[in-house]
A and B are shown apart, each in its own frame.
Chain A
Amino acid sequence: GAGVSQSPSNKVTEKGKDVELRCDPISGHTALYWYRQSLGQGLEFLIYFQGNSAPDKSGLPSDRFSAERTGGSVSTLTIQRTQQEDSAVYLCASSFGRGGYTFGSGTRLTVV
């Protein structure tokens, strides 16, 4: 597609359940990033992929968070045993090079 696609756009889950968030980057973009945006806050870096490897996972807040990327394309962010503090908008971006980030519209996660 023409842009970065994220699904679902909205997810409501019960505390303690696992969730998977999907990101489909722009074709040909080798770099993929996950960020988290809490209500009225800035963007918090989570993880960066170059191809299928993740040279920087420093932003993952706990071991309940994990991510993978397959075929140098689609990425999945998994949150296990969700907590209320995980409620946020999860944004994915892809890039072909320095600074050329294109963001998706995000997945709004609500943990109840």
Chain B
Amino acid sequence: QQQVKQSPQSLIVQKGGISIINCAYENTAFDYFPWYQQFPGKGPALLIAIRPDVSEKKEGRFTISFNKSAKQFSLHIMDSQPGDSATYFCAASTDSWGKLQFGAGTQVVVTP
């Protein structure tokens, strides 16, 4: 069964708007939560990551919010741009060398 559940499956947002993608997990042993961005025909690329000892991490227009008690984490893309149109995956891992469990992905389309 999928250990990381991601929603929504797809998202359309206007340029300048905020894109929000949510993920939930059950395994409390997970202690590393990255987000990946994938463009068509390319492999996923690490976007931003968080560990459970912090509740928020921001890098440029991308912010991860983490709620340990709810076992949820989310990605916020501020001031969304057409170049942000891609598929985004959340993931989680438990061990030092990080076999990652991925969510099903969210296809984000930013309209001009």
On A, residues with C-beta under 8 Å from B are 4, 31, 33, 35, 40-43, 45, 48, 50, 56, 91, 93, 95, 97-106
Contact = CB atoms under 8 A, between A and B. Distances in A.
B32 A43 contact: no
B99 interface: yes
28 contacts: A31-B97, A33-B100, A35-B102, A42-B89, A42-B104, A43-B100, A43-B102, A45-B99, A45-B101, A48-B97, A91-B43, A91-B44, A93-B43, A95-B97, A95-B98, A98-B96, A98-B97, A98-B98, A99-B46, A101-B46, A101-B98, A101-B100, A102-B46, A103-B44, A103-B45, A104-B43, A105-B41, A105-B42
A72 B103 CA distance: 29
A42 B102 contact: yes
Nearest to B93: A99
Interface string B32-75: 10100000011111100100000000000000000000000000
A98 B45 contact: no
Contacts of A93: 43
Interface residues of B, number: 23
A97 B104 CA distance: 24
Nearest to A55: B97
Interface of B: 2, 6, 32, 34, 41-46, 49, 89, 93, 96-105
A99 B43 contact: no
Question: Which 6 pairs, one residue from A and one from B, show the smallest C-beta to C-beta distance?
Answer: A103-B43, A43-B102, A42-B104, A42-B102, A99-B98, A105-B43
A40 B97 CA distance: 27
A100 B96 CA distance: 11
A31 B98 CA distance: 10
Contacts of A48: 97, 99
